[in-house]
Amino acid sequence: MKRKAATMLLAGLVAVAVSLTAQQPAPDLILSNGKIITVDDQFSIAQAVAVRGDRIVAVGSNADINRQAGPNTKRIDLGGKAVLPGLIDNHAHFQEEGAYWGLELRLDGIDSRKKALEMIRARAKEKGSGQWVFNLGGWSPDQFVENKKPFTREELDPYSPDNPVYLRFSRGEVYLNSKAIETIGIDKMKEPWIRRDAGGRPTGVFDIAGAGPIEAAAKFLDAPNGQRANLPKDVIVANQMLMLRDLAESGLTASGGACTFDDLYREFQAQGKASMRFFCQETAQLAAIAKLRYHTGDEWQEISNWGERIGNVPGQDPYIANPTPIPQQVFDQWGRIARELAQARIPIMIHTVTTEGVEGQLREVEKIARDIDIRPLRWSFMHLEGITPAQVERMKKLNMFAAVHPREVVSGGLLHRVWGEKAFAMPPLREIQESGILWGLGTDAFEVNQYRPFQTLYWAVTGKMVGGTVVNTHTVSRQQALIAHTRNNAYLFFRENDLGSIQPGRLADMIVIDRDYLTVPAEQIKDIKSVMTLVGGRVVFDAGTAQR
């Protein structure tokens, strides 16, 4: 009798389990027959993934996942393609740049000088005679395979004889054609940033100090760097949507940075057009710090940290080998404000570039940590070209996060001209990884860097900048680099239970890529593109239907 009762009890439990399983709604979407690179703690590989609503509900074998399908479940056969979590850029200026996206000529990832020149010709023809062809950074001549010299007016003129051309090599130089020189009246100027030939004629190459004055005189921008553009709304909307399309194709689904157009992106969200999550920075006057509230937004846009500066720490220019020393009183003032932020329990993400800049700010954090526990706040330093392994170890003890934004990807040539052999470890990526500190990848696009995440991953794995020149010999593995562009960045924004990996319960942000990141030759990592990007389970980019 006891055995019979136990058998009946077991049968009843099985029936209840089956009934509960049957009561679970079927997935809305199943992706199967692929290589699902989950980037979970075990870096598991699966075949299929199921999505209900905006969240992942199951990951596993084709048989297990397909068994859950219902009559209304949409199916996508991946045909063996690899799937990654949506990539996260921990700091960029996307909303700011997006206002100009369709107006500017971007050269991100272009490694052919001839192609760049032909792009200038095409844009001049498209805009019509007399209109500016301009670029605001994110590239350098060093990325061209066939010729790495600066552009002169003589070289630019045949490609745009009737349109003024302005090209900005990040923080290095500015290049103008003859039409631009004539339009601005540079021949009559005496400024020291104008480079001239032996006869006193402007060469078309200008020191970076001339970028601001030239941009102001050209008037193709209507807002200072970092401020909100004052273009017609329909123009801004069209440019932002075009940028979002390109970011989705690149594999990006989330980013941190200034939310210059947060109101417009709320409109996109209400219209069902949102395709990227934004983790916004916000600052305030000292007296208002106590009133600031963080992590109070939603899954599309929220205020995540204070950034990118506490006051202004001058002299953090990685392109100057012997900068003027930073006075201690600058760091003292920095520390006073940082202490207020610590007392208010505010996360910070701070601009730190040079060894001296990192050192001065790190000393202040260490002083604060003696009195206030900052470990739960996940404070981070970002950029970090000049950081040393010893400084990384000190940051780790404070539970700080290292947000790496490799300028080397486009400006590696310039850094090597300034720093020589030292530039091969700017930053010391392998030592950052081996220290055990949590770290993530970003770009700080658009002025100082390109935006394409697989170009960044290529640099992290091969040490090569755009164009293939080795600029860093302290590289990491593919898996380590991918974790830094996904799971670790989710942690930085306190979203590790929502983003950064393909696991049940996570938001369904995923990219289907055109080649396998884990096995493709390293030289091809930079060329990987998404053929389908999903954010919250919704397809926001499909290469099969996308149009320019």
Query: Residue type for 306, please?
Result: W
- Measured from the Cβ of residue 451, the count of other Cβ atoms closer than 10 Å reads 26
Which of 295, 311, 300, 220 shows the shortest CA–CA distance to 262?
Answer: 300
Residue 361 main-chain phi, psi, to 5 deg: -75, -35
The DSSP result for 407-437, as a single string, is THHHHHHHHHHHHGGGGGGSS-HHHHHHHT-
* Separation of alpha carbons 326 and 505, rounded Å: 47
* Separation of alpha carbons 433 and 423, rounded Å: 18
Query: Which CATH code for domain 233-542?
Result: 3.20.20.140
pLDDT in tens, the chain (548 residues): 444 444 444 444 333 333 334 468 999 999 999 999 999 999 999 999 999 999 999 999 999 999 999 999 999 999 999 999 999 999 999 999 999 999 999 999 999 999 999 999 999 999 999 999 999 999 999 999 999 999 999 999 999 999 999 999 998 999 999 999 999 999 999 999 999 999 999 999 999 999 999 999 998 887 655 567 888 899 999 999 999 999 999 999 999 999 999 999 999 999 999 999 999 999 999 899 999 999 989 999 999 999 999 988 988 999 988 788 999 999 999 999 999 999 999 999 999 999 999 999 999 999 999 999 999 999 999 999 999 999 999 999 999 999 999 999 999 999 999 999 999 999 999 999 999 999 999 999 999 999 999 999 999 999 999 999 999 999 999 999 999 999 999 999 999 999 999 999 999 999 999 999 999 999 999 999 999 999 999 999 999 886 55
The CATH-assigned architecture of domain 2-80 is Roll (2.30)
Which of 543, 508, 519, 531 shows the shortest CA–CA distance to 254?
Answer: 508
Which residues belong to CATH 2.30.40.10 in the chain? Answer: 2-80
Which residues belong to CATH 3.10.310.70 in the chain? Answer: 104-218
Checking DSSP bridges between strand 165-169 and strand 133-134, what pairing results, if any? parallel
Which of 56, 42, 52, 53 shows the shortest CA–CA distance to 85?
Answer: 56
Q: Which residues contact 262 (CB under 8 A, 6 or more apart)?
A: 95, 278, 280, 301
Q: Which two tokens stand for residue 125?
A: 């023809």
- What was the pLDDT predicted at 240? 97
Domain 104-218: CATH class, spelled out:
alpha beta
Which residues belong to CATH 3.20.20.140 in the chain? Answer: 233-542
Q: What is the dihedral of CA 240, 242, 247, 251, to 10 degrees?
A: 140
* Separation of alpha carbons 506 and 495, rounded Å: 10
